[in-house]
Structure 1
Amino acid sequence: MDIEIHSDFSNANLDEMKEVYVSVGWTKHSNEIIKQVFEASNVIALVKVNGRIIGMGRGMTDGVFNAAIYDVVVHRDFQRLGIAKKIMEFLLDQLNHVSCVHLISTEGNEGFYRKHGFKKLKTGMARYLNPSLSDQYLEC
């Protein structure tokens, strides 16, 4: 398997990226939304196998104090092969000089992020517009 990881979004195949999201049940990511969120992100990881995008992750940072990682996702057919680990290493390498890196894990994946040095926040807070996400992620 020929795995390539890079951060060049300029020629990314949005249909392939959407297929990755859909494969894990994230169905609200249209090509337009994918383009918008990745163009707004200044830290990007795209993983290709044999020229096809099969995983990605993104982040945003001020370059000094804070960063946040989002959307670390691998196509269902390529999971459990260490690809998400490569994505996290790639993103964290780009953020190695940033004082604080945040992320919100999907349920059941907290252990994966712990392996990369992440811990629960004592004072972390969030606001969700979607009530089902509020119910899933927020403490009352």
Structure 2
Amino acid sequence: MSTVLDIRDVLPSEVEPVRLFLGQNGWGHRTGSAEHFAQLIAHSQRTAIAVKDSRIVGFARGITDGLSNGYLSMVVVCEKHRREGVGRALVEHLMGENSDITWVLRAGREGASEFFAGLGFEVSTIAMERPRSK
């Protein structure tokens, strides 16, 4: 018997638990201090959390103007719950119903290209990137 997966926006009280979840799942280098991460979440127009059995099993965040452009910044699912539709549900929640928005992302992790292709993303020949300083 499977437990219901809850996909919803991140509540203010969940910001620190999300930061800890990310640290436990290989994203600690991108979260920084509690204060830094709280600012990161506050400046993201869309955040989503996946909860199963009262535990965080996934997180995603995006930046968008809500009309034309969007950027998927983080999509993280704990290893135990990968290939269960958690990542897909998070991305679909973030992107919402507006099909007029062009969403972009960086798919550098192993398996990311195949995952996002299944959600309708295509490799772009026009995107450019200015990487962050190390």
- Give yes or no for TM over 0.5: yes
- 2:18 aligned partner: 17
Deviations 1:13-32 (A, max 9, x none): 51x31333223322221322
- 1:3 aligned partner: 5
Q: Following superposition of structure 1 onto structure 2, how do residues 26-105 of structure 1 map, counting pairs within 5 Å?
A: 26-28=27-29, 29-30=31-32, 31-93=34-96, 96-105=98-107
- 1:107 aligned partner: 109
- The share of aligned pairs that are identical, in percent, is 23
For structure 1, the residue ranges without an aligned partner over 5 or more in a row are 132-140
The amino acid that maps onto 2:109 is: E
For structure 2, the residue ranges without an aligned partner over 5 or more in a row are none
CA drift of 1:99 comes to: 2.9
- How many residue pairs match? The answer is 129
- 1:121 aligned partner: 124
Give the TM-score taking structure 2 as reference length: 0.83
**CA–CA distance in 1 between the matches of 2:64 and 2:121?**
17
CA drift of 1:116 comes to: 0.5
**CA–CA distance in 1 between the matches of 2:128 and 2:39?**
25
Which shifted more, 107-116 or 27-36? 27-36
After superposition, the Cα gap between the structure-2 partners of 1:76 and 1:33, relative to the gap in structure 1 and judged at 3 Å, is farther
**CA–CA distance in 1 between the matches of 2:10 and 2:54?**
13
Q: How much is the aligned-residue C-alpha RMSD, in angstroms?
A: 1.9
